[in-house]
Amino acid sequence: MRNIVIAASLLATSALTAMPAAAQDATPVTLQLKWVTQGQFAGYYVAQEKGYYEDAGLDVTIKPGGPDIAPEQVIAGGGADIIVDWMPAALAAREKGLPLVNIAQPFEKSGMELTCRKETGIESPEDFKGKTLGVWFSGNEYPFLSWMSKLGLSTEGGPDGVTVIKQGFNVDPLIQKQADCISTMTYNEYWQVIDAGIPEDELVVFKYEDQGVATLEDGLYVLEEDLADPAKVEAYAKFVDASMKGWAYAAEHPDEATEIVLDNDMTGAQTEQHQQRMVREINKLVNGSDGTLDVSAADNTVNVLMSGGSDPVITKKPEGAWTSAVTDKMKEMN
């Protein structure tokens, strides 16, 4: 009996000592999110919770974002391997010297929109003239500015232009009638307006997709120099593959995905009802994507950004700003 106990003890010890070795063999990857932990990033949290990253031989760290965190600065400073970013911000940073490259595009559609009170008399974009519009900055203003340029509206105010107020990450300007319209996302702030007591039939919504000024959101970006390393390309391919499995699972099991997101929210600020709606709306934007970038959508983003009149977001068409090397490698592995 004593020999059996000793043998069992040795087996247990062997298993325990093997675990750190396996962990050490995993390739570390740090992902910097664009915003705080919420349903917008459900696919990544699901992939981590379900072990998809671990199965791919990856040790993934997910870093939440926030109002004082710029993903471009984080990756530039070596704080992340991959960032979630909107293409306008990434291209603007690239033109300024930070060589960001889109390696995958989980979101096929834009969720950005302008939500207005119907009582303001706004029925079409032509009615924006003379109105006050709330806009997010820190890179999120780029599509809006291009849209206003397309409409021929100055953003300096006056009867023939629009007055722009810097909108915080809330819907207060619309609720308090400080603005006629505010920026919202289909999966987030729009529902905050509804929850604040303004019914849908008292709102007019202009989706950027419908206005022809949509730009790509929530793509995955790395530094160009890293793509010269085949080992990193392979790790990124595994990451994208595992992440898209996470997104597919979130689409099939939105309630479970919501619970996973809430479990990872260390602030306790998120509510179940809001996150459930967010996960469902986000799944519409992912739309079953495998992560492959639609080059025509990227070209459209560039065209929108370059149509900013005298002050365009980018001044020339970028070269090397996206690559299929990672998603091609992913498909080879599958």
Mean pLDDT of the chain: 91
Among 211, 232, 252, residue at a domain's last position: 211
**Pair (199, 304) in one structural domain:** no
Q: Which domain holds residue 323?
A: 2-108+216-333
Question: Would you say residue 135 has pLDDT above 70?
Answer: yes
Number of domains in the chain: 2
**Cβ proximity of 181 and 167 under 8 Å:** no
Residues 248 and 323 in one domain: yes
Do 79 and 220 lie in a common domain? yes
Instruction: Count CA within 13 A, CB hemisphere, residue 258.
Output: 17
Provide the pLDDT for residue 19: 44
Mean pLDDT throughout 83-97?
A: 94
Closest C-alpha to 186, from 289, 260, 104, 109: 109
The total number of residues shown for the chain amounts to 334
C-alpha dihedral sign at 85, 91, 97, 103 = positive
Over residues 106-111, mean pLDDT:
96
Strands across the sheet containing 27-32: 58-63, 27-32, 82-85, 219-223, 100-104
Same domain? For 167 and 84 the reply is: no
Question: Which carries the bigger pLDDT value, residue 297 or residue 312?
Answer: 297
Q: Are 173 and 103 members of one domain?
A: no
- Same structural domain, 280 and 144: no
Contact between 144 and 175 (Cβ < 8 Å): no
**Whether pTM exceeds 0.85:** yes
What distance in Å separates the CA atoms of residue 85 and residue 35, rounded to the nearest whole number?
9
Same domain, 198 and 233: no
N-terminal to C-terminal alpha carbon distance within the chain: 49
Task: Work out the percent of the chain whose per-residue pLDDT is above 90.
Answer: 78
The tens digit of pLDDT for each residue in 63-74 reads 999 988 999 999
CA distances from 236 to 26, 76, 86, 242 (A): 13, 18, 18, 10
* Residue where a domain stops, chosen among 211, 239, 263: 211
pLDDT for res 305? 87
Query: 136 vs 284, which has greater pLDDT?
Result: 284
| pLDDT score at 153 | 92
Q: In this structure, are 237 and 203 located in the same domain?
A: no
Determine the Cα–Cα distance for residues 17 and 24; give it in Å rounded to an integer.
Answer: 12
pLDDT, greater one: 304 or 46: 46
Q: What is the distance between the alpha carbons of residues 96 and 115, in angstroms, rounded to a whole number?
A: 32
Q: Looking at the structure, do residues 234 and 321 belong to the same domain, yes or no?
A: yes
The CATH code of the domain that includes 302 is 3.40.190.10
Rounded to the nearest 10 degrees, the angle between the axes of helix 254-264 and helix 230-252 is 120
Q: Do 160 and 263 lie in a common domain?
A: no
State residue 211's pLDDT score.
92
Amino acid at 314: I
**If you average pLDDT over residues 141-147, what whole number do you get?**
85
Q: What is the pLDDT of residue 142?
A: 79
